[in-house]
Amino acid sequence: MTRTLCLAQEPEADELLSTDDFALLVGMLLDQQYPMEHAFRGPRKLADRMGGFSLRQIAEADPAEFEEIAATPPAIHRYGRSMARRAQALARYVIEHYDGEPAGIWTVGDPDGKEVLRRLQDLPGFGAQKAKIFLALLGKQRGVEPAGWRTVVGAYGDDGSRRSVADVVDAESLSEVREFKKKAKAEAKAAEK
């Protein structure tokens, strides 16, 4: 069920996300306090500036130089330098724990959904919600379906939902996800009163 992703809403950026698991992880890492499609364009910006996208090159880059690459306009994120440090930490973690193979997070030892979720939560920059959304994205759009994945991701795994990046397959679904988030935020704000 793997398909070309449409998260960045730009063909070259989406192609990289569709073919490089670490690029997809970095895009998800950047998806906070920043418009989703811009976050998922970040890996392509890095690739353009570094002569290609390489987990090892990112991990081994001089931190100050990598921060400069990430923060140069247009930056990979509104907090480009901070996110550069997080991306390097993520690259180093994947090298240390998965021999530089991001797919090992969801393949090594044939893990079930609960274990994949735990592994994702262990990643630098990934909390519980981000891990659930990423696992839902893997299940819904990449064909990665460890046993019980829909249960552990909760509503993010619902078919036909429009609640997260896991549900974005085109410009229309992006608008629907934005509308869902806007409504949920308004409801939460109303509940606080």
- Domains in the chain (CATH in brackets) are 11-157 (1.10.340.30)
Q: Which two tokens stand for residue 141?
A: 């759009």
- Contact present, 54 and 98 (Cβ < 8 Å): no
pLDDT above 60 for 2:
no
As a dihedral over the C-alpha atoms of residue 71, residue 78, residue 178, residue 187, rounded to 10 degrees, the angle is: 150
CA dihedral 177, 90, 131, 17 (to 10 degrees): 40
Q: Write the single-letter amino acid at 134.
A: F
Q: What is the pLDDT of residues 80-120, one digit of tens each?
A: 999 999 999 999 999 999 999 999 999 999 999 999 999 99
pLDDT at 1 over 50: no
Name the 3-class secondary structure at 158.
coil
Rounded to an integer, what distance in angstroms lies between the CA atom of residue 57 and that of residue 65?
12
- Is the pLDDT score of 136 beyond 60? yes
Over 80: is that where the pLDDT of 134 sits?
yes
Which of residues 52 and 189 earns the better pLDDT score?
Answer: 52
What is the model's pTM?
0.95
Closest by CA position to 24, among listed 122, 113, 109, 141: 141
Q: Is the pLDDT of residue 32 over 50?
A: yes
- Residue 151: what pLDDT? 98
